[in-house]
Amino acid sequence: MNKNLNLKEIDRIIEMAWEDRTPFEAIQFQFGVNESEVIALMRSELKESSFKLWRKRVNSGISQKHLKKRNEEISRFKCNRQRVISNNKISKR
């Protein structure tokens, strides 16, 4: 992987990769790192057992890491349950 990513960006990519509902396309959109590069990054940064656990979960039917597996269309990368922050206060539901 020839990307010049700083430690903060690498941490964020790993965090996004661990989240089941964050697709690889979102990571590529935000950081310019495709799926194979994310896999290589995870392999190099995680312990071997953690990497195997992650790959098993991503390859199973549980994970929705690919937009093709989803039923809904994604227009932006934000959870619909995420609270809106306005005027330094978290809005009530």
What are the tens digits of pLDDT across the range 52-82? 999 988 887 655 666 665 555 555 555 555 5
Residue 2: inside a domain, yes or no? no
Q: Which two tokens stand for residue 16?
A: 């996004």
Residue 15: inside a domain, yes or no? yes
Its domain, for residue 21, covers: 7-90
Burial tier of 65 (Cβ tally within 10 Å: 0-12, 13-18, 19+): buried
Residue 1: inside a domain, yes or no? no
Count: domains in the chain: 1
**Total-model pTM:** 0.66
* Calpha distance 86→93 (Å, rounded): 13
- Count of beta carbons in the 10 Å neighbourhood of residue 92: 5
Residue 46: inside a domain, yes or no? yes
Q: What is the pLDDT of residues 16-32, one digit of tens each?
A: 998 888 888 889 999 99
* Calpha distance 84→4 (Å, rounded): 32
